[in-house]
């Protein structure tokens, strides 16, 4: 995983009006009043949502099939390689019975995974510079070969056109207010009942929210097993450090600022194999030998006192939801 993140394309803290109180644990993901413009410095190696389109308005009497889609991350480039590690990407598909048209909806990073997970350290700038946004993408068609070859394409429920249109309104709200990608789940131990300090906010969580919304609208899901990938850091109780201004501003903590920059420096993009291995040893020294990790979450910095097993990729079952309204579907 470290190899993939280090080789991933690399970026800025952006403004927004925060809202909602913060509970103790887990720290809730903050939603925003609007999506800020992206900085021109932030460039993606692969274009985000190149064939994206607006979500269509369906006729009320339409019956729409809903499909669970899952394939290895970067399957288009590496095939099933990451599938062997159970690092999977999730999406949802729709098929209209009235028009016969298929659609795909997914949520992913605007600037690829590396930029969402680690910042750039730019010359002349004290604070780390983040290129981190995630968003929903909707487009016509389902690439059967992509999802079937090494992953999953399976019918999970059917919904009415009315339910689809209500879901579309929810997607608009969700997309405009949930704008930052959060790679890591952080918890106290591998025990399933252990304290979760922070929860991730990535593609699978969008699909789970979408399924729950459909269930709340009345969809009845098939009883099939559904598993999702999580990348988990293991830590003692996190320590709040502050935001960009309080740490890196004129009245900031210069010692802490230097420590955060030093921590993030080995995660920069690499030009040579030698650089990569030198910085890999630095990462091992920080995270495993010295039990240190600096997390940027909700535009705030936290110190994680890391502990064994430090990091784990899990592929765990999350059951399809049960709704609260009168049912419609299979």
Of 116, 120, 203, 286, which is the active-site residue?
203
- Smallest CA-to-CA distance from 207 within 63, 76, 320 is with 320
Rounded CA-CA distance 27/197 in Å is 6
Catalytically annotated residue among 89, 120, 131, 286: 89
Closest alpha carbon to 91 in 78, 76, 110, 72: 72
User: What is the largest distance, in Å, between two alpha-carbon atoms of the chain?
Assistant: 63
Instruction: Phi first, then psi: give them for residue 61, nearest 5 degrees.
Output: -80, -5
Closest CA to 174 of 141, 206, 145: 206
Closest Cα partner for 110 from 140, 124, 131? 131
Buried b (16+ CB within 10 A) or exposed e, 206-237: bbbbbbbbbbbbbbbbeeeebebbbbbbbbee
- The yes-or-no answer on residue 89 being catalytic is yes
Residues 178, 31 contacting (CB under 8 angstroms): yes
In whole angstroms, how far apart are CA 204 and each of 136, 208, 232?
A: 12, 6, 14
| Residues annotated as catalytic (active site), given as ranges | 89, 203
């Amino acid at each position: 995983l470290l190899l993939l993140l280090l080789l991933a394309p690399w970026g800025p803290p952006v403004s927004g009006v925060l809202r909602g109180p913060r509970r103790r644990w887990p720290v809730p993901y903050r939603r925003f009043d609007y999506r800020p413009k992206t900085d021109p410095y932030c460039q993606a190696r692969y274009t985000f949502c190149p064939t994206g389109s607006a979500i269509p308005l369906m006729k009320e009497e339409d019956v729409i099939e809903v499909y669970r889609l899952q394939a290895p991350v970067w399957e288009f480039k590496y095939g099933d390689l990451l599938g062997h590690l159970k690092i999977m990407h999730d999406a949802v598909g729709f098929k209209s019975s009235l028009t016969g048209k298929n659609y795909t909806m997914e949520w992913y990073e605007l600037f690829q995974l590396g930029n969402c997970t680690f910042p750039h350290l730019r010359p002349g700038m004290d604070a780390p510079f983040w290129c981190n946004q995630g968003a929903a993408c909707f487009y016509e068609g389902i690439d059967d070969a992509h999802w079937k070859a090494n992953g999953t394409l399976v019918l999970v429920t059917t919904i009415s056109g009315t339910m689809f249109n209500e879901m579309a309104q929810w997607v608009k709200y969700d997309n405009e207010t949930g704008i930052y990608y959060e790679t890591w789940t952080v918890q106290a131990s591998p025990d399933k009942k252990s304290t979760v300090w922070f929860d991730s906010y990535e593609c699978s969580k969008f699909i789970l929210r979408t399924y729950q919304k459909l269930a709340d609208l009345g969809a009845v899901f098939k009883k099939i097993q559904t598993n999702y990938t999580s990348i988990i850091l293991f830590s003692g109780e996190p320590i709040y450090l502050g935001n960009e201004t309080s740490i890196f501003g004129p009245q900031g903590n210069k010692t802490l600022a230097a420590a955060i920059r030093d921590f993030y420096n080995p995660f920069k993009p690499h030009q040579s194999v030698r650089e990569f291995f030198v910085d890999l040893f630095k990462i091992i020294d920080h995270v495993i030998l010295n039990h240190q990790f600096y997390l940027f979450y909700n535009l705030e910095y936290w110190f994680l006192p890391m502990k064994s097993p430090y990091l784990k990729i899990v592929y765990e079952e999350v059951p399809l939801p049960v709704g609260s309204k009168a049912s419609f579907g299979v």
